[in-house]
Structures are given as structure tokens and as C-alpha cells.
């Protein structure tokens, strides 16, 4: 998992872990900043070992130990690791714009073949404007393709949008390898690290989240907020220069 190695190597891990919350939909770690990641409860419950080891004692760990949890095969632990990584990133807002990932996909995907890994609420709008839309999903809904279909459709796509949780479940490197070198590739979701490290791997844009009100965002996570319900955040997109 070279991408995780490079993301972690770019971090300053000297911060103290101040708080950890793991809600049904989102996970938050508070260290230098407040970092978010999707919790992925459905995927976790399919695992034989779904629990977080040493739950209740994690605040005594260093942030360096927490970020290493991103390598865990246990989804709930990997979610904590990704939130810890995001909590350490000093997001360069000067390199970002306040742009929703949906608008970027609509712009880049107009009249083109689009592959999206992850089921998002805006997909009907994309379907109206794209030549073809393929949606690959671990928990497929009507019209979605199952994971093995990624091998067939992603190489055909002009635009590829990858959920940030592909870092959590350790599929990102494989998905990027499937992309046509000429395809426009973006990552989206609040698990996405807003780090230029990902541009070294063929990603052109990162649509993620920066927390601007730590107390509010942490409260939302604790009270079961989904992506649309989390407040105290900015939706930012960073482009490869």
C-alpha cells in the first residue's frame, strides 16, 4: 500500500490526540485538526473481526499509532486511521476552491463515458448528461454494477470518480491501475485526504472536506450524522497543478 505509506510519510505526527468519535456513518479524530472519514458499517458487519481492538483506550495512543490503523483489515480500525491521517493535514486552502464533486463530474463527464466507484445521491444528474454512466458499488442498488465489473468498465471510461473509502478498504491502487492513462481521475468524499501526494498517482482532483468548527462537526458525528448532515465543514476541491 505505497499510497498510504507516502501519505503518512508526508505528515507531521507530533500532534496530541485530543478526541476520537466513531458514529454509525462517520468517524472523527481530533489532533492538530479535526479529521473525518466514513465509518462503512455495512462493510464492517460483513467481517468476522468487525470490532475495534482496545476500544475505550485509544485516547492514550499517540497519533502516530492511530494513523497506522489505516493499514488494518478491520474496516472500523481503518476508518479511524484515515480520520487520523486527515486530522494531521494542513490543508492549503489557496490551492483549493469551494466546489462540489458533483459539479466537477458533471462538467468533465458531459457527453463522455463516466465510471463512478461508490453510490452517490447526485448520480441521476450525471446519468442525464453523460454518454454512459457505470456505477460500481460494494453494496449495489438497482442499476449498479458489482465490484468485479470494475475490471471491465473502468478502462473504458473517460472520467473516473473514486470514493475516498477506496483508501479505507485498500482497493485504491488497483482501481487507479485500471484507469486509462488519458482518463480524468478524481477522488471524492470526506475520507479523501486533501494532500498533493495523491497527484503523484495519477489523480487530477481531490474533492474532500475541511472542518472549520471542530465542536460542531464532532457533535454531529457523535449524534449519527450522515455526509449531508455534518455541519461545521467546507467542501473543497484541490486540483493538480
Instruction: State mean pLDDT over 150-165.
Output: 98
> Model confidence over 180-228: pLDDT tens digits?
999 999 999 999 999 999 999 999 999 999 999 999 999 999 999 998 8
pTM here is 0.96
pLDDT at 50: 85
- Domains in the chain (CATH in brackets) are 2-90+216-225 (3.30.390.100), 94-207 (3.40.50.11590)
Confidence of residue 145 (pLDDT cuts 50, 70, 90): very high
Angle ∠(11,116,162) on CA atoms, nearest 5: 10
Q: What does the alpha-carbon distance between residue 144 and residue 167 come to, in Å, rounded to a whole number?
A: 21
Say whether pLDDT at 141 is over 90: no
Query: pLDDT per residue over 116-140, tens digit each?
Result: 999 999 999 999 999 999 999 988 8
User: Which of 141, 124, 142 has its CA nearest to residue 133?
Assistant: 124
DSSP state of 145: B
Amino acid at each position: 500500500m505505497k499510497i498510504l505509506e507516502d501519505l503518512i510519510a508526508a505528515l507531521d505526527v507530533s500532534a496530541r490526540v485530543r478526541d476520537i468519535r466513531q458514529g454509525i456513518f462517520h468517524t472523527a479524530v481530533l489532533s492538530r485538526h479535526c479529521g473525518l472519514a466514513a465509518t462503512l458499517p455495512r462493510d464492517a458487519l460483513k467481517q468476522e473481526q468487525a470490532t475495534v481492538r482496545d476500544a475505550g483506550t485509544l485516547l492514550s495512543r499517540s497519533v502516530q499509532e492511530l494513523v497506522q490503523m489505516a493499514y488494518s483489515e478491520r474496516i472500523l480500525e481503518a476508518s479511524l486511521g484515515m480520520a487520523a491521517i486527515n486530522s494531521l493535514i494542513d490543508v492549503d486552502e489557496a490551492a483549493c476552491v469551494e466546489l462540489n464533486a458533483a459539479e466537477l463530474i458533471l462538467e468533465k463527464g458531459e457527453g463522455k463515458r463516466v465510471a463512478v466507484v461508490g453510490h452517490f445521491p447526485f448520480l441521476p444528474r450525471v446519468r442525464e448528461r453523460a454518454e454512459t454512466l457505470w456505477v460500481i458499488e460494494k453494496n449495489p442498488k438497482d442499476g449498479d454494477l458489482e465490484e468485479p465489473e470494475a475490471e471491465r468498465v473502468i478502462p473504458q471510461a473517460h472520467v473516473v470518480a473514486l470514493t475516498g473509502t477506496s483508501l479505507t478498504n485498500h482497493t485504491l491502487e488497483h482501481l487507479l491501475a485500471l484507469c486509462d492513462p488519458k482518463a480524468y481521475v478524481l477522488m471524492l468524499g470526506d475520507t479523501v485526504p486533501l494532500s498533493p501526494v495523491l497527484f503523484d498517482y495519477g489523480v487530477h482532483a481531490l474533492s474532500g472536506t475541511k472542518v472549520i468548527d471542530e465542536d460542531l462537526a464532532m457533535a454531529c458525528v457523535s449524534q449519527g450524522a450522515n455526509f449531508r448532515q455534518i455541519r461545521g465543514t467546507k467542501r473543497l476541491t484541490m486540483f493538480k497543478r
